Structure 1
Amino acid sequence: MPGRVYRRGRWSWRWRPRSVVVCAALVALTCALGVVAMTQGTIELTAGEVLAALVGTGVVDQTAERVVLGIRLPRLVTGIFVGACLGMAGAIFQSISRNALGSPDIIGLTAGSATGAIVQIVLFDGGPLAVAAWAVGGGLVCSAAVYLLAMTRRSGGGYRLILVGIGVGAFLAAINALLLTRVGLDQALEAEIWLQGSLAGRRWEHALPVLIAFVLLAPPAAAASRRLDLLELGDDTATQLGVRVERSRLALIVIGVGLTALATAAAGPIAFVALAAPQLVRRLNRAPGAPLLSGAVMGSALLVGADLASRHLPFAWSVPVGLATGVLGGVYLLWLLGTTRKV
């Protein structure tokens, strides 16, 4: 379906009706999954009780109100915005690398953020804000290393970026394991649990930083979407069309790293979402260009759905959502390699 242009004064915005429908459907799906997630748990609630606790109308049981507002809502908000950050970051890096494998978890940025967070956890025992700051720092250092190593040669493009990122990610994973062997059992256990990636026990101090990060970083990412679309055509073509390639690429990398790092700080390293969300939504949109907004919404739906599924596995098993998405990511990666000619 061809795109349409919305104009208001000096500003214009290109949009596609199919993409709007896809986004609306994904938002509705995320809301439905969220309602189900809010009703499930040790204390089962009805949808009416959840709504009454959220809106604050009618007679609300205090226990239900504490469960909804103090436990389940922060977990849901964290899941929504962690998924949104990862989905948007995945769309950015896949467009920059021009490769379906160019997601933060594949090219090592998630591992860099995890290293920064682990250093804070095992050495300084900081709170959520300190962990978030160190995760951002680790992600920025890792991205700088990957970018500089990948750009030592002008040839190779996205393929070289991915290969360098895989190498850096493997190195950082070894560093993370080494750090865990040099600390006390309690600290190592805390860090190991965090490394699994989980939304369990998330409170507002975890939800608010990632919510604020998305609100602050999504607008500049959306504003740069046209330049990102042109970068997908290749550096030479983008330069001829007036794009300052290196400056635009660097700005987009910083935005993507910020989204990835704060999502990782809030929930730990979570695989699959950044890799799969942009590709799945591209197939639904059937349109060219980087799916930033729809990728973010798809990321939210995937993570909220995976978290809900991980809590209701057969045989009374309950696993961290990071393990569940890791299994899905492995299956998806095999499918992607088997069905895509060029990755």
Structure 2
Amino acid sequence: MTVTLDPPVTTEAPQRDARDVVRRARQAPIRHRRRLVAGLVLAVVGAFAARVLLGDYTVTIPDFVRILGGEQIPGATYIVMESKLPRAVLSVLVGLAFGIGGAIFQTTLRNPLASPDIVGVSLGASAAAVSAIALAGWTGWSVSLAAVVGAVGVALAVRMVAGDHGGFRLVLAGIGLAAAMQSVIQYVFTRVDEWDVQLVLRWLTGSVNGVDWPTIGLLAVVLGALLPATAWAARSLEVTELGDDTARGLGLGRGRTDLLMLLGVLLVAVGVAAAGPVAFVAFLSGPIARALNGGRTTLLAAGLVGAVIVLAGDHAGAYAFADLNLPVGVVTGAFGAPFLLWLLARGPLNGHRGRRAA
């Protein structure tokens, strides 16, 4: 008589299957984020190419390469190197700064309304710059520095008024200070000399036109320092989204959040210092990037979305209307206002379903 024994029962196979399921679940969002970033990079490249090569004066790709190589092509070289290319490069840099800075505000404070446009940071920079031009007679780098100081000052004031509370209390404090800054701008505008009206209007609307290469180079250097620091500080961003109490329970100190907020303020401030307060870019970029990423926050995607918005807005402002060249801030403001109304009408504004704002 032959007796057959069943193979011993082991839990190794079920455990291996469970690990595979968990691994795939973790890798799926990462793969999606990579595909999203790659797609947005292609969108930025396409918008950049359209801004430089197309328009009233078209430039072929071979001619563009020859111009970058230093060859002088009558008419084309001046248009590309002094108008189209600097505007496109500045649009990318400013879009990155506004997009990442706005996403930091909205994510850290867990409220899509808590963007630099709404809480007064951009207006603080504009008020300081306009005051420096009209009242002190400053020009050049000193005006840009005043804009940075103004943005940081308003951010600190909002933080002090709101105290340890976030959410709507900080937004309300920011709206109040934004109204005060708007009053300052309106008063100072009445004191502006007629020769400075165009310069002041640039600070009120936001424009990438007429910026020289040294300014663009300085902005690139500053962003080269701020962006790596932001990437390091943002490693704990997902924990910060859970709220202050949960973050402290997980060992995340308040200092990391405050550092990330400061970096967000500086990113927005240098963007305003270079191009003025381009309306609603910081406000739009974060929610669009979250929607494209399945509701998850990604600062890089927000920055790329901001770059696409500024590039497309500048191109539309320059060529969408015959005999009319609109600043990019006018175009983004026209599209951003309906988005704000839609966001207000859609329901809870704390950015997390089922979670109340602090």
Q: Deviations over 1:84-125 (max 9, x none)?
A: 000000110001210011110111000111112112222344
Separation (CA, whole Å) in 2 of partners of 1:3 and 1:208: 39
Match of 1:37 among 27, 51, 57: 51
Residue 85 of structure 1 is aligned with which of 97, 101, 108? 97
- Could you tell me how far 1:196 is from its partner in structure 2? 1.5
- Aligned partners of 2:129 and 2:203 also within 8 Å: no
Is contact 1:49–1:60 with CA below 8 Å preserved after alignment?
no
The answer to whether the 8 A contact 1:71-1:203 is kept is no
Q: Pick one of 237, 249, 261 that aligns with 2:257.
A: 249
| Structure number with larger C-alpha Rg | 2
CA contact (8 A) 1:118 1:176 kept: yes
Contact 1:104–1:260 under 8 Å retained in 2:
yes
Work out whether residues 128 and 266 of structure 1, in 8 Å CA contact, stay in contact via their aligned partners in 2: no
Aligned partner letter, 2:315: L
Aligned pairs, number: 327
Task: Give the aligned partner of residue 94 of structure 1.
Answer: 106
**Other-structure match for 1:322:** 329
Shift of 1:318: 2.3
Residues 1:263 and 2:277 are matched in the alignment:
no
SS in 2 for 1:224: helix
Which residue pairs with 1:67 in the alignment? Answer: 79
Task: Provide Cα deviations, 1:215-265, integer angstroms capped at 9, x if missing partner.
Answer: 1111111112232221110111000111112x1222112111111111011
Query: Is residue 139 of structure 1 aligned with residue 151 of structure 2?
Result: yes
Q: Give 1:1-16 correspondences, 5 Å limit.
A: 2-4=25-27, 16=30
3-state SS, counterpart of residue 135 of structure 2: helix
| Contact 2:93/2:220 (8 A) holds in 1 | yes
Distance 1:41 1:128, change over 3 A: farther
Whether 1:105 and 2:117 are equivalent positions in the alignment is yes
Partner of 1:224 in structure 2? 233
Distance across 2 between alignment mates of 1:41 and 1:158: 43
Counterpart-to-counterpart distance in 2, 1:143 and 1:161? 10
Q: Which amino acid aligns with 1:323?
A: V
Please give the alpha-carbon distance, in whole angstroms, between the structure 2 residues aligned to 1:197 and 1:108: 15
Structure-2 residue corresponding to 1:275: 283
Runs of at least 5 residues in structure 1 that lack an aligned partner in the other structure: 6-14
CA-atom RMSD, angstroms?
A: 2.0
Give the equivalent residue in structure 2 for 1:8: none
More divergent stretch after superposition (126-135 vs 92-101): 126-135
1: CA distance, partners of 2:287 / 2:69: 36
CA–CA distance in structure 2, aligned partners of residues 287 and 98 of structure 1: 13
Q: Once structures 1 and 2 are overlaid, which stretch shifts more, 32-41 or 105-114?
A: 32-41
Alpha-carbon distance in 2 for matches of 1:297, 1:249: 23
Once the two structures are TM-superposed, the CA of residue 20 in structure 1 deviates from its matched residue by 1.3
Unaligned runs of 5+ residues in structure 2 are 1-23, 351-358
Q: How big is each residue's C-alpha offset from its partner over 1:138-197, in whole Å with a ceiling of 9 and x where there is no partner?
A: 01111110000011xx45x21111110011001001001111112322224431233121
Instruction: Report the Cα offset of residue 65 of structure 1.
Output: 2.2
Distance 1:126 1:52 in 2: 39
Q: Distance in 2 between matches of 1:88 and 1:277?
A: 8
Asked if 2 retains the 8 angstrom alpha-carbon contact of 1:27 and 1:301, the reply is no
Query: What is the CA–CA distance in structure 1 between the aligned matches of 2:209 and 2:344, rounded to whole Å?
Result: 32
- 2:16 aligned with 1:20, yes or no? no
Greater mean alpha carbon deviation, residues 176-185 or residues 262-271: 176-185
Between 226-235 and 184-193, the greater mean CA deviation after superposition = 184-193
